[in-house]
Homo-oligomer: A and B are copies of this chain.
Amino acid sequence: MSTARSVSFAIRRVRSPRIRTGNLRPTFQQIPRARFSTSAPTRAEESVTAAPPKQSKYTTDAYPNLKRNPNFGELTDAHVQHFKTVLNHPSAVIDGFTTDATDDIEPFNCDWMRKYRGHARLVLKPQNAQEMSEVLKYCNEHKLAVVPQGGNTGLVGGGVPVFDEIVISTARMNNIRSFDENSGVLVVDAGVILEVADKYLAERGHIFPLDLGAKGSCHIGGNVAANAGGLRLLRYGSLHGNVLGIEAVLPDGTIIEDLSTLRKNNTGYDLKQLFIGGEGTIGIVTGVSIICPQRPKAINVAFFGIESYEQALKAFLEAKGHLSEILSAFELMDGRSQELVHKVTGLKKPLDGSYPFYCLVETSGSNGEHDSEKLEGFLEHVMGESIVADGVLAQDETQAQTLWRWREGITESLSHLGGTYKYDVSIPLSELYQLVDDTRERLTKVGLVGDDESYPVREVLGYGHMGDSNLHLNVAVRQYNKEVEKMIEPWVYEWIAKRNGSISAEHGLGIAKREFIGYSKNETMIKLMSQLKKLYDPNGIMNPYKYM
């Protein structure tokens, strides 16, 4: 009998009305201090950033209406020479302008999904705010457009150029500046990789208050610029609350030094907030200070098969009630997404049967026994009342990691299918999954969905952070296809706007959503946003053709 099976058995005992809660305690494990990581490679996924196996079109071909802004300057040898002098380090400049560096530049031109591809011929990697300031000031003076880039894991094409914008990467800004164990405040360079920071914190009994599937590649500056949400927002709250300070550079070279390490500091407008979710359109974040909670000593992960969305919603409300302060994630996955992960990764399924819905529930707390007791109460309830149909509970860290892979592996697995139209949306909980059904029905009706190569759409599936009312609708296509796109957009945005949802919950606007911002923000808001953009970036050089 495999481990997973025996785990499954452990929960099935909970289902049986004859077995009382008390008996179950030994099957719940207190998982040691160390945190989960899904970065261990599995068969099909070598690394979370491995690019899908196909070549992408230029964004300029996919969006023929986009025209290069004629006000922008053109790169010259003299410009490139200037940057080389300022940055003065061989690895600080990738020069595809005066030399042939196509292969080195390609990863900076192309996004993680291979959906967007730019024509940049220069990548700059300043090492600190001062260098960043000199670079940006020069670009601004010469009206050279730029794209800030962190780990390039963004999912809306925001971090890659469209035309010949200069890529400014934070890859060489990777120092952890300080950590205070009393307060839990961490100060880092913008280019520190999320997983690196979290490992550093783990050694000091703390945890980064953000976690997501791309943690092995994404930069903290990129997370802040994208206002990433991730897997544990439910527990630790948003970056707007956790980021205490930033250091950033405006296009005119102004260095904003606002790296406060204080939890409370009511001395004026909270300017840093504009950079959180600003997607590199008003300046570049070079440093971040953030408050990090204590690392939970005990982590439990359970995985359920569920018969309907209504039951999944019930399970979530029960989890909130029973698990309360220790609930750290409640993730929803539909059956199709899990079949896909199974096919791509070859992982053994955690449950025997097949269900239309699955949920992953995580608890994190300071006392394993208490947490297990709470979880027990929850399990007893949801299984006793048949809210969930079947379930497994991780018995150790490895099993917990494996269960997480069923959730975290979806994005990566999707990328093996071809292209994906991704819609990362907020919808009131009661209707969250309806969007997936409606989309599938709409595309099926017009004959776009099918199993053989003649159909453009392979699959319509959904999953997401249920705890935050955040659904990821994914339309997996054999190749990006205008006919499919037209059937979905703007229909999908209208659907969301009707329910007062958000057309971008956590992935941001980038190039993918910029035209559709009107579905989530009214004209006044857009006017006020343009006003801010003009205030900070009057020449419009910061990440053009994106955001709005």
Q: Which residues of A contact B (CB under 8 A)?
A: 180, 182-183, 226-227, 229, 233, 237-238, 240-242, 254-258, 260-271, 273-274, 276-278, 282, 294, 296, 313, 317, 320-326, 364-367, 370, 373-374, 426, 428-430, 465, 468-470, 500-509, 513, 517, 520-522, 524-526, 528-529, 531-533, 535, 547-548
Contacts and interface: CB of A to CB of B under 8 A. Distances in A.
5 contacts: A229-B264, A269-B529, A271-B525, A294-B320, A367-B374
Oligomer: number of copies: 2
A167 B3 CA distance: 69
A504 B171 CA distance: 36
A273 to B, nearest CB: 3
A379 to B, nearest CB: 15
Contacts of A430: 182
Given A238-B241, A430-B182, A513 B373 contact: no
Given A271-B532, A367-B374, A531-B535, A426 B265 contact: yes
Given A326-B325, A374-B366, A502 B271 contact: no
Nearest to A367: B374
Nearest to A430: B182
Contact of A504 (B266, B503, B531): B266
Contacts of A532: 269, 271, 535
Contacts of A507: 266
A322 B180 CA distance: 19
Contact of A426 (B262, B322, B526): B262
Given A258-B521, A266-B507, 5 more contacts: A182-B313, A238-B241, A261-B500, A268-B547, A271-B532
Nearest to A291: B237
Contacts of A268: 277, 509, 517, 521, 525-526, 529, 547-548
Contacts of A506: 264, 266
A270 B277 contact: yes
Nearest to A276: B270
Contacts of A317: 182
B370 A373 contact: yes
A280 to B, nearest CB: 12
Contacts of A240: 240-241, 270, 273
B267 A470 contact: no
A533 B267 CA distance: 14
Contact of A266 (B226, B256, B273, B374): B226
B365 A503 contact: no
A478 B524 CA distance: 51
A547 B267 CA distance: 8
A375 to B, nearest CB: 12
Given A257-B524, A325-B365, A505-B262, A428 B183 contact: yes
A321 B266 CA distance: 28
A296 B326 CA distance: 12
Contacts of A524: 254-257
Nearest to A181: B317
A203 B444 CA distance: 46
A79 B271 CA distance: 36
A259 to B, nearest CB: 10
A267 B519 CA distance: 10
